[in-house]
Amino acid sequence: MKDIQNKTGPLILLMINMFIVMTGIGLIIPIMPAYIEEFGASGQTLGLLVAAFGLTQFLFSPIAGELSDKYGRRLIIIGGIAGFSFSQIIFAFGTEMWHLYVSRLIGGASAAFIIPPMMAYVADITTEEKRGKGMGLLGAAMSLGFVIGPGIGGFLAEFGTRAPFYMSSAVAAFSTIMSILFIPETLSKEQQETARQSTKKRESITKQIIRSTKAPYAVLLYLVFAMSFGLANFEAIFGLYVDLKHNFTAKDIAIVITATSLIGVFIQGIAVNMLIKKFGEKMVVYVTLLGSSLGFVLAILAGSYMGVFVTTVLFFIMTSLLRPAVNTLLSKMAGNEQGFVAGMNNAYMSLGNIVGPALAGLLFDVNIEFPYMLGAFVLLLSFGLAYSWGRKGEEIKVKTT
């Protein structure tokens, strides 16, 4: 592991893989409203399809984190990317609604075998001083893929609503091959053997979550949930929301999501490390939680195309800066539990990806403004919790000095 620590090659490959997977996830956004119409589905169905992905991502995340400790990061990452490629093929050829659900369930499980090992991988190959930058770059690749995805999806949809999924599967298959050839392992055989010989039985997902709630970093895991809840809430019904309220076309949706998210990712790439160094992770978390909550409110008030564009820019900038700040704090507090914490990180993110879209779809059918009202409330509540936790931490420091 020391031989590859601080080298950029493995990190670049991880970023490429993360970008490819998140592109495949993001490309469905502009075409999903039209796609589900082929099946006679509603807004609630769209929310449940998004939530199905989060369900298996949640269930498999702790397993993936543990397996990456026992059998190495590389093997688990490769398996996850291959599984994602397979899930996109199922979605492309699906003719019944249950086919789409199966695809999303497999896709969620695959994401669970990609994201936690990648986060642990970054922790393996970076020093604590440079971990913030490493997490920021990985987060930027994640955001960029999700951002570019809708634009690619909107372009490929000109060749048919299923074309984006064929392309996504092919690119993920190529990424699998590249990973097999070029991603080195970070854990030594001795480290893997020690983890495998451990007599400690694996805890159930329920027990792991209960244990995580008693950890010093429990509030940070809640913030991961809230962040994912808000982002999934915003994006799950965005296409239907602007279509119904502002008469947006699929092309309009693709342009807004892609352009605004690109701005957010650009700001993240150039500013996150600088902001963390200057103001600290906690201050970045406070400001971005408030800004994200405000983004929801302004999205409701927006009355024009430009209004939607500007408020969406604000929202994506805030969430793009929030993710690496929280992940860096988590990584610093994880100690020798990097695998467990990475798994829990993804588990809480998955819970947000389950609850956010499911509630958004349900509330959307009642009143199209309700999902965004709920998102604003959850993020504002999260700010209060984070600020209270941060203040208590400072008080403890003062008392111990």
Residue closest to 227 by CA, chosen among 289, 137, 144, 290: 289
Burial of 397 (0-12, 13-18, 19+ CB in 10 A): exposed
Alpha helix (H) residue ranges in 302-369? 305-334, 338-364
Give CA–CA dist 138/25, Å, rounded.
Answer: 16
Cα(first)–Cα(last) distance of the chain, in Å? 36
Which tokens in the block code for residue 220?
A: 């940070």
231-280 pLDDT, tens digit each:
888 887 888 888 888 888 777 888 888 788 778 777 877 887 788 888 88
346-374 pLDDT, tens digit each:
778 878 888 988 898 889 888 999 999 99
Residue closest to 119 by CA, chosen among 295, 379, 331: 331
206-230 pLDDT, tens digit each:
888 888 888 888 899 999 999 989 9
Give the DSSP letter string of 33-85.
HHHHHTTT--HHHHHHHHHHHHHHHHHHHHHHHHHHHHH-HHHHHHHHHHHHH
Which tokens in the block code for residue 202?
A: 């694996």
CB 201 within 8 A of CB 53: no
Q: Is the pLDDT of residue 401 over 80?
A: no
pTM for the whole structure? 0.71
Q: Side chain identity at 285, as an amino acid letter? A: V
- Residue 183 is classified by DSSP as P
The 3-state DSSP class for residue 28 equals helix
